[in-house]
Amino acid sequence: MTDWSTILAAWPALLSALVLGYLLGAIPFGLLLTKIFGGPDIRSIGSGNIGATNVLRTGRKGLAAATLLLDMFKGTVAVLLARHFLGDAAAIAAGLGAFLGHLFPVWLGFKGGKGVATFIGVLLGFSWQAVMIYAGIWIAIAFVTRYSSLSGLLACAATPAILWGLDQPTAAKLFFILALLVFIMHRANITRLIAGTENKIGQSTVKP
């Protein structure tokens, strides 16, 4: 029988964690860093995305690397803070919030990044072992195909199974949702992959 009193009692913590995660995830580090260091508004170049890949299109490799790390760790911090103060269930809510915040930041009209970096950061908050397996899958696929987008998509798709194998079924369910959202956000890349027009790693010309 469902204990509705327990569920209702947990809602304030879950909602707080979701909001905390969203606010952290919604910090647009790519946009902020390029503006602070005198670069262009990255929303006006390339894909218009606020993530590390588009920051790289400015020619600032250091800023792109910093964006990648910060977009990752905001997800990690959200999960760890929520778990420490509010418990394991709240960590799930915070991870979802951080991911949604990155994809749909309220400050930018709900137009954010594609989510892979934050996906990895949230994953790190649950299991560093899963991140290592994710990285191994990414590297193997990238080595064979030289498609960064395909490597990320397939590694994300494998993540729920990875977590299930590591005996984290609740996190696996969360990452099934996150992986689905990653695929939706990468629908243009998927179209180019099917058409054979997606850029490979090392190509000098990057399509938006």
One digit per residue, the tens of pLDDT, for the chain of length 208 reads 445 455 456 788 899 999 999 999 999 998 888 888 877 777 777 666 777 777 777 777 888 899 899 999 999 999 999 999 999 999 999 999 999 999 999 988 888 889 999 999 999 999 999 999 999 999 999 999 988 889 999 999 999 999 999 999 999 999 999 999 999 999 999 999 999 888 887 664 444 3
| 143 contact partners, CB below 8 Å, separation of at least 6 | none
3-state secondary structure of 33: helix
8 A C-beta contact, residue 152 and residue 138:
yes
Q: What is the pLDDT of residue 47?
A: 67
One-letter amino acid at 52 equals A
Whole-model pTM over 0.85:
yes
8 A C-beta contact, residue 81 and residue 72:
no
